[in-house]
Chain A
Amino acid sequence: MKRRRFHILLLILLLLVAAVPLFTESRATINLLTHIFIIAIFAMSYDILLGYTGIISFGHALFFGSGAYTIGLLLKNLGRGLEIALLGLVMAMLLGLVVAFLIGTISLRVRDTYFAMMTLALGELFFIAAFKLRGLTGGEDGFSFRVPEMLQDRVVFYYLALLFLILVFYLLSLFISSPTGRVLQAIRENERRAQAIGYDVFRYKLFSTVVAGITASLAGALYGLQERFVSTSVLAVDKTLDALLMTIIGGSGTLYGAIVGSALVTIVHEWFSSLGSVHPIFERWLIIFGVVYIVVVLFFPGGLVRAFSSLGRRWRKDTRISTGVALSSEVVNVKEKESSC
């Protein structure tokens, strides 16, 4: 019953979002929403690692960045045909697969703290490479390129990005509820126990890294298509931190939390940046998110999405006391989730 209501709500929300270009002519709004869709894909890919597998990577930007560079370089050097853009998306994902496989194989041998440092260092390595290979990447200044005529229409690209968001969300939901996804969550809960049961933890973690890598590369390629410009900023550790903030604030371990998080962070960022012209203090918007993030890590490990939904549940508790059995199972559910993070 509750599930159906949730689905109807989701459908209405989706229709509203899809109808936005019909009501507004504002390019800024369309671009902002498109940006949110793309970054949400990136944040969801991060959530696969952090929220579902329980590993922290500080090098996730390297997938995002290599995706953006792949499509940028192809469109710049091979022409701006639609088939080139398509090839770029496929190549970006293929590259994401290969790189994730290699990096996972190297760095997953070491455990959480070492892994976090290792990925930070590997991400830095990619950043330096793009910075130094000036002839190919344009270094810090980057390079701009032209996109297929069809994708130049902001509204068309808006729907394309939305389509990708829905598709990725659907595929990743399938993934996390598949037997493999369940094993990943078992690893998140207790790695040793998962190992003791007989699962090859390394192989599952590698699989998770590869899925996250492919998704992040796709997000990066779409980002490149939207910006029509690539520079080293797509590989900077800031990009990883963005995904980290969004995932944690929205709620790690819930794919839609990553979407809510990216919408929240992006919109407030945009809003504060415009206020920044009034008073420069607003340019330091990251502090607010940093503090919110710290509070969430300390007190609401489930993120804002779960914090609000459990508040709502507590509020409804009195009215639903008669359905005791259902409620208690729900409470157990919530407790399980809370303790898991």
Chain B
Amino acid sequence: MDTFINLFTNGIATGMAIFLLAVGLSIIFGLMGILNFAHGAFFLWGAYVGTWVFGRTQSFFLALASAILAGALLGVILERTTISRVFGNHLSQILLTMGLMLVLGELVKVVWGPNMLTSPPPGFLEGSWEFGGIVLIKYRLFTIVVGLVVALAVYILLTRTRLGIIVRAGVENPEMVQALGIDIRKVFTMVFALGAGLAALGGAIMGPLGGSISPTMGLDNQLLAFIVVVTGGLGSFVGSLVGALLVGLIGAAVSWFVPEAALAVNVLLMALVLLVKPTGLFGGGNI
């Protein structure tokens, strides 16, 4: 029983961190049609900025806030200077964002060195609680709570606010939104910044969850995020959430029972879903 609770919370916690990465990726693709291969770089920078600020100030919330800010800022800069130049050209978009990923990944090595760094959780989230023989690790619960809060916030943003309506309309038909007198370019930049900020938050949270950060974590987790959005359906909020939880839980379970197949099973899951339903589980839906 203990093992299952452990696997379950671990799976959900990892899934939540991946969800933060995946939801931005998904919305950016849905709205702008951009497959953002640089998304993992925001995650990576979030992890490093978060760990660095936490090490300096010992304030975890300041660390999370600065990670989000750094991610959003990077997102705005990249969107304005480079990505906006290749709208509509899929080949160039993939090539360009892959190059951005490469450069941002190397820059991390310039600033913080190429080796792994330890990333401790804050004092008040260390250790675990025990309820009637069931051990719950505090930081995992924290991750799950943050993930749920963000998921709820994004959901409300998408369904209850003017920006959300514009974004959802933009996913359906950007030209029509433009024709209605809304500056879709501004919305693009905003959404891009939002997605990048969320990815950076995911990175900052993922650091203490694994205990260490390294320059390869961007690309590694980006692959997971791709698997999540493809499985769930690109552009679908619910798809990202379900896909992330699915990938997190399956990953945790398989790495416990058949460690050899841990990463492979996610890839196989995506391949299977793509072959059966090329738009993903929730693709073509509304949110």
Tell me the A residues contacting B by CB distance below 8 Å. 54, 56, 58, 106, 109-110, 112-114, 116-118, 120-122, 124-125, 128-129, 132, 237, 241, 244, 248, 281, 283-284, 286-287, 290-291, 293-294, 297-298, 301
B-side interface size class = 35 or more
B residues less than 8 Å from A301 (CB atoms): 92
Whether A113 touches B90, Cβ cut-off 8 Å, given contacts A121-B270, A286-B106, is yes
- By the criterion CB–CB under 8 Å, are B230 and A114 in contact? yes
- By the criterion CB–CB under 8 Å, are B99 and A294 in contact? yes
- By the criterion CB–CB under 8 Å, are B99 and A54 in contact? no
- By the criterion CB–CB under 8 Å, are B35 and A117 in contact? yes
13 A–B contacts, CB within 8 A, in A order = A56-B94, A112-B90, A116-B37, A117-B226, A118-B270, A121-B223, A121-B227, A281-B110, A287-B110, A290-B100, A294-B99, A294-B103, A297-B92
Interface string of B82-118 (1 = CB under 8 A from A): 1001100011101110111011001101100010000
B residues less than 8 Å from A121 (CB atoms): 223, 226-227, 267, 270-271
Q: Tell me whether B264 is interfacial, beta carbon within 8 Å.
A: yes
In chain B between 237 and 263, which residues have their CB closer than 8 angstroms to a CB of chain A? 260, 263
Distance in Å from the Cβ of A269 to the closest Cβ of chain B? 13
- By the criterion CB–CB under 8 Å, are A248 and B95 in contact? yes
In the complex, the chain B residue whose C-beta lies closest to that of A55 is B91
Known: A113-B234, A284-B110; 16 extra A-B contacts, CB below 8 A, are: A54-B91, A114-B274, A116-B94, A121-B226, A122-B267, A124-B263, A132-B260, A286-B102, A293-B99, A294-B103, A297-B86, A297-B92, A297-B95, A297-B99, A298-B82, A298-B92
- By the criterion CB–CB under 8 Å, are B275 and A284 in contact? no
Partner of B102, one of A110, A129, A281, A293: A293
Q: How far is the CA of A195 from the CA of B223 in the complex (A)?
A: 32
A residues less than 8 Å from B267 (CB atoms): 121-122, 124-125
- By the criterion CB–CB under 8 Å, are B274 and A287 in contact? no
Q: Tell me whether B278 is interfacial, beta carbon within 8 Å.
A: yes
Total A-B pairs in contact (CB under 8 Å)? 94
- By the criterion CB–CB under 8 Å, are B100 and A117 in contact? no
Q: Tell me whether B63 is interfacial, beta carbon within 8 Å.
A: no
In the complex, the chain B residue whose C-beta lies closest to that of A125 is B267
- By the criterion CB–CB under 8 Å, are A294 and B223 in contact? no
In the complex, the chain B residue whose C-beta lies closest to that of A120 is B223
- By the criterion CB–CB under 8 Å, are B264 and A287 in contact? no
Q: How far is the CA of A34 from the CA of B15 in the complex (A)?
A: 46
Partner of A124, one of B94, B110, B223, B274: B223
Whether A284 touches B278, Cβ cut-off 8 Å, given contacts A121-B223, A121-B267, A129-B264, is no
- By the criterion CB–CB under 8 Å, are A110 and B91 in contact? no
Whether A56 touches B106, Cβ cut-off 8 Å, given contacts A112-B90, A132-B260, is no
- By the criterion CB–CB under 8 Å, are A290 and B99 in contact? yes
Q: Main SS of the interface on chain A?
A: helix
Q: How far is the CA of A286 from the CA of B99 in the complex (A)?
A: 10
Q: How far is the CA of A79 from the CA of B91 in the complex (A)?
A: 45
In the complex, the chain A residue whose C-beta lies closest to that of B34 is A113
B residues less than 8 Å from A297 (CB atoms): 86, 92, 95-96, 99
In the complex, the chain A residue whose C-beta lies closest to that of B262 is A128
In the complex, the chain A residue whose C-beta lies closest to that of B229 is A117
* Shortest beta-carbon contacts, A-B, top 4: A290-B103, A290-B102, A113-B35, A294-B99
Partner of A294, one of B96, B263, B270, B275: B96
A residues less than 8 Å from B67 (CB atoms): none
B residues less than 8 Å from A124 (CB atoms): 223, 263, 267
Distance in Å from the Cβ of A117 to the closest Cβ of chain B? 5
Q: How far is the CA of A297 from the CA of B99 in the complex (A)?
A: 9
Q: How far is the CA of A56 from the CA of B96 in the complex (A)?
A: 12
- By the criterion CB–CB under 8 Å, are B271 and A118 in contact? yes
Q: How far is the CA of A109 from the CA of B268 in the complex (A)?
A: 16
Q: How far is the CA of A176 from the CA of B160 in the complex (A)?
A: 54
Whether A109 touches B103, Cβ cut-off 8 Å, given contacts A117-B226, A117-B230, A287-B110, is no
- By the criterion CB–CB under 8 Å, are A294 and B230 in contact? no
Partner of A109, one of B94, B234, B270, B278: B278
A residues less than 8 Å from B268 (CB atoms): 125
Q: How far is the CA of A302 from the CA of B239 in the complex (A)?
A: 38
- By the criterion CB–CB under 8 Å, are B35 and A298 in contact? no
A residues less than 8 Å from B106 (CB atoms): 284, 286-287, 290
In the complex, the chain B residue whose C-beta lies closest to that of A127 is B263
Whether A118 touches B95, Cβ cut-off 8 Å, given contacts A112-B90, A128-B264, A287-B107, is no
B residues less than 8 Å from A122 (CB atoms): 267, 271
Q: How far is the CA of A287 from the CA of B94 in the complex (A)?
A: 18
Q: How far is the CA of A132 from the CA of B230 in the complex (A)?
A: 26
Whether A244 touches B86, Cβ cut-off 8 Å, given contacts A121-B223, A132-B260, A284-B106, is no
Q: How far is the CA of A122 from the CA of B267 in the complex (A)?
A: 7
- By the criterion CB–CB under 8 Å, are B274 and A110 in contact? yes
The residue among B85, B227, B263 with the most chain A CB atoms within 10 A of its own CB is B263
Q: Tell me whether B219 is interfacial, beta carbon within 8 Å.
A: yes
Q: How far is the CA of A110 from the CA of B278 in the complex (A)?
A: 7
A residues less than 8 Å from B275 (CB atoms): 106, 109
In chain B between 214 and 238, which residues have their CB closer than 8 angstroms to a CB of chain A? 219, 223, 226-227, 230, 234
Distance in Å from the Cβ of A40 to the closest Cβ of chain B? 20
Q: How far is the CA of A298 from the CA of B103 in the complex (A)?
A: 15
